Amino acid sequence: MKDDIQIVKRHEHKYYINYAEYYYLKQLLQTIMEPDLYAKENGEYYIRSLYFDSVDNTDYYTKLAGIENRKKVRLRIYDLDTDKVKLEVKNRFNTSMSKESLTISRDEALKMIGTDASFLDKYSEKPAIRVKNYMINHLYSPKVIVDYEREAFVDNGLGVRVTFDKNIRCAYSDNMFDKTLGLIPVFRDPVMILEIKFNRVLPDYIRDVICTGRALNSSISKYCMARGLVG
């Protein structure tokens, strides 16, 4: 069964930055890039992800061990009232990333949250096949919810995307549609995550802008940070 499926392959670099660096970089980026089309009036949009992992937390410990070849499985929404949910498998090797995503319904997402993978039989796309295998053979189940607001700038012609992820918070819950979910901040300090995503080569003019800031290049995982806080 064909549905809204997307396969993305690109490079990603992640940085911790403070708010002074954010305002500085934002002023420069908005002169050379366009704001994301999905942004609201305040320039941001909302993201909630529910991460899954195996019974022995393979993906979590693979990341903590620094193994370069790793993956994440998640459900993602951009609106708590939505009926469309992104089922995503994100594979990474060092800074190279591929993401396979399939749009499923809210009811199907609830089945997956309840560890019922039978609905995936009607999909022939790779992410559905992979996730069913993970759930049946490796006992994948929901682990943690991560929320944040994202501000993004893009250069679609060159395949470059720069994002600022703000107010990152998490909860030990599988109720991803809960509007009253008790969330705790991931960071104590006033910092956010800068991500630079590009298809082939990062253009010099964007690289030069980032280098003028004092961003700290890091191996960052929102999933692992959240698991470290709430289990």
CATH for 84 = 3.20.100.30
What range does the domain containing 198 cover?
5-230
Residues 6+ apart with CB under 8 A from 189: 18
- Pairing, β 191-198 against β 5-18: antiparallel
Residue 93, pLDDT score: 84
Which residues are bridge partners to 75 per DSSP? 50, 87
Residue 1, pLDDT score: 35
- What Å distances lie between residue 57 and 15, 127, 137, 145, 227, CA to CA? 25, 19, 14, 15, 10
Residue 4, pLDDT score: 64
Q: State how far Cα 153 lies from the chain centre.
A: 16
Residue 210, pLDDT score: 83
Three-class SS state of 58: helix
Which of 64, 16, 21, 108 has its CA nearest to residue 224? Answer: 64
Three-class SS state of 121: helix
**What residue type is 48 in one-letter code?**
R
Task: State the total domains in the chain.
Answer: 1
pLDDT of the chain, 231 residues: tens digit per residue:
334 657 778 899 899 999 999 999 999 999 999 999 889 989 999 999 999 999 999 999 999 998 988 999 999 999 999 999 999 999 988 778 899 999 999 999 999 999 999 999 999 999 999 999 999 999 999 999 999 999 999 998 889 999 999 999 999 999 999 999 999 999 999 999 999 999 888 888 888 888 876 676 778 899 999 999 997
pTM, entire model: 0.93
Q: Cα dihedral sign for 82, 41, 9, 91?
A: negative
Residue 218, pLDDT score: 79
Residue 192 host element (H or E)? strand 191-198
CB atoms within 10 A of CB 184: 11
Please tell me what DSSP assigns to residue 125: S
Residue 205 host element (H or E)? helix 204-212
Residue 3, pLDDT score: 46
Q: State how far Cα 95 lies from the chain centre.
A: 15
